[in-house]
Structure 1
Amino acid sequence: MNQKGCPEEYPITLVVNDFEIAVFQLTKQDLEDWVYGYLFSEGMIECAADVQTVLINEESGVIDVTLATNFNTEKMFSKKKHYTAGCGRGVTFFSMTDVKTFNKVEVGKTYQLSYLLKKRSEFARNSPLYLESGGMHGACIVEESGAMTIREDIGRHNAVDKIIGHAIRNELEPSSLLLLTTGRISYEMLSKAAKFGFPVVASRTAATKQAVQLAKYLNIEVVGYLRGRMAIQYTSLGRVIYDLEERVLGANPN
């Protein structure tokens, strides 16, 4: 019988400008990317330069962040918290109504389905934490050149925050990027993609009804069940060319 190690998760307290946001369950790898990605996804920063310092104390399980002095702490933290569904529980300050005010995605690269399937396979083969232990989620961005960057975490939304953090720290242009994820695409996952501006989001599993409705409204292409030589189309915005149509399953996005 093959044996794998257990996935690891740790309680990490995020403190921003001396205000405790919440305690998150996280995998310790790439924590600085997670900080930037989470703060960006929540509207606390607009670019990496808005972060003055990030102090990570793994021993005490505290990340202490100082943001630019023009950050309105009282206004942000007076908002109602919404706890996210699924593993590695997270927290967001955005409701569905808030997310609908995000900018719609008007540009984006066109991809063939066969290319998405190929990159999804490469993603799976290059996810070391998952291969070592199982039970881990991953998020991956694919650049125009085909270059891939992967981040992993016990929580699917944490993995997406990590990859967004990597993107904004490296000033990558969202219109040229493809986002792949292992996790269910729920509305809070879609909101993270929308905040950054990914034109195409694809997953090896399902998208929720709320996420699909939001994707249509914000003009984001969503593809689910990206496995082997098949997929499910949730939106039809013309950014994914289904060159393997006989292998593609139809989906009712309503």
Structure 2
Amino acid sequence: MNRKGCPDEYPISLIINGYEMAVFQLTKYDLDDWAYGYLFSEGFIQEASDIESVIINEEMGTINVALRTHFDEDQVFSKKKHYTAGCGRGVTFFSMTDVKNFDKVASSNSYPLSYLLKKRSEFAQNSSLYLETGGMHGACIVDETGNMTIREDIGRHNAVDKIIGHAIRNCLQPERLILLTTGRVSYEMLSKAAKFGFPIIGSRTAATKQAVQLAKYLNIEVIGYLRGKMATIYTSTGRVENDVNIELAAEMH
């Protein structure tokens, strides 16, 4: 029997300007990307330059972030926290009502469904931690030239934060990117994608009803069950062309 190694997760404390914000279960790869991505996704920063420094101490299990902008801890900690579902449990400060106030996504780029299926397959083949352990989530961005960048973590939302962190640190333009994920597209996953401005989200599994409703409102294309020659198009913005002779599930209402 070919046994895989166990996936790793560690409790890591996020400290902002000296204040401990929360303890997260994370995989110890690309933690700097995670810090940038999480703080952007949750509205603490607007761009990478808002962060002065990130100091990671794996032995102590801490990520110390110094912000250039003012951090009002009383205002932050008075906001209601929404705990995310799934492995690598996290926390978001955005409710569905908050997400509806995000800017609607604008992008004229379109792609054949066959292209998304091909990239989803390449994503799976190049997810090294998943191949090693069989128990990791991944997030991937595909640019206009087809280049892929992958980040992995025990938590699906952590993996998405890591890839967003990579994108903002490298000044990538969201309207030119596709986001692929191994995890369920829930409302908090949709909110992270919407905050950055991804026009297309593709997943190997399902999207929740709440996520689909938000995606329609924010003009985001969501494609689920990208596996082999399978796909479910949950929303229709005209950005994905069904060029594959397969039956697509009806839209979720």
Structure 1 residues 108 and 79, CA, compared in 2 at 3 Å: closer, same or farther? Answer: farther
Corresponding position of 1:38? 38
> Alignment length, in residue pairs?
253
Aligned-partner Cα distance in 2 for 1:213–1:162: 25
The 2-side partners of 1:251 and 1:12 are apart by 42
Q: What is the CA–CA distance in structure 2 between the aligned matches of 1:66 and 1:190, rounded to whole Å?
A: 27
Q: Return the offset for 1:76.
A: 2.4
Contact 1:232 1:249 in 2 (8 A): yes
Answer yes or no: is the 8 Å Cα contact 1:185–1:207 preserved in 2. Answer: yes
Deviations 1:161-203 (A, max 9, x none): 0000000000000000000000000000000000000000000
Match of 1:150 in 2: 150
> In structure 2, what is the equivalent of residue 251 of structure 1?
250
In structure 1, distance between residues paired with 2:45 and 2:247: 39
Match of residue 53 from structure 2: 53
Q: CA RMSD in A?
A: 0.9
The within-5 A match list for 1:109-120 is 109-120=109-120
Counterpart residue number, 1:26: 26
Q: Does the CA contact (< 8 Å) of 2:50 and 2:69 recur in 1? A: no
Residue 2 of structure 1, CA deviation? 1.0
Q: Which residue in 1 is equivalent to 2:17?
A: 17
1:36 CA displacement? 0.2
- Identity, in percent, stands at 73
Q: 1:105 corresponds to which residue?
A: 105
Quote the residue 1:206 is aligned against.
206
Aligned to 1:191: 191
Residue of structure 2 equivalent to 1:130? 130
Helix, strand or coil at the partner of 1:22? strand
What is the deviation of 1:230? 1.6
Q: Which position in structure 1 is the counterpart of 2:70?
A: 70
2-side partners of 1:61 and 1:97: how far apart? 33
Instruction: Note the C-alpha offset of 1:11.
Output: 0.4
Distance 1:107 1:207 in 2: 21
Unmatched 5+ stretches in structure 2: none
Normalised to the residue count of structure 2, the TM-score between the two structures is 0.98
The alignment partner of 1:74 has SS state of: helix
Q: Match for 1:247: what amino acid?
A: I
Offset from partner CA, 1:125-157 (integer Å, 9 cap, x none): 000000000110000000001100000000000
Is the 1:108–1:199 Cα contact (8 Å) retained in structure 2? Answer: no
Partner of residue 182, structure 2: 182
Regions of 4+ moved over 2 Å: 69-77
Q: Could you say if the C-alpha distance between residues 108 and 136 of structure 1 is closer, same or farther in structure 2, counting changes exceeding 3 Å?
A: farther
* TM-score normalized with structure 1 length: 0.98
SS of 1:123 mapped into structure 2: helix
**How far, CA to CA, are the matches of 1:2 and 1:18 in structure 2?**
46
Output one character per residue of 1:217-242: Cα deviation in whole Å (capped at 9) or x when no partner. Answer: 00000000000012001001100000
Question: In structure 2, how many angstroms separate the alpha carbons of the residues matched to 1:28 and 1:193?
Answer: 23
5+ residue gaps, structure 1, are none
* Aligned-residue offset at 1:249: 2.5
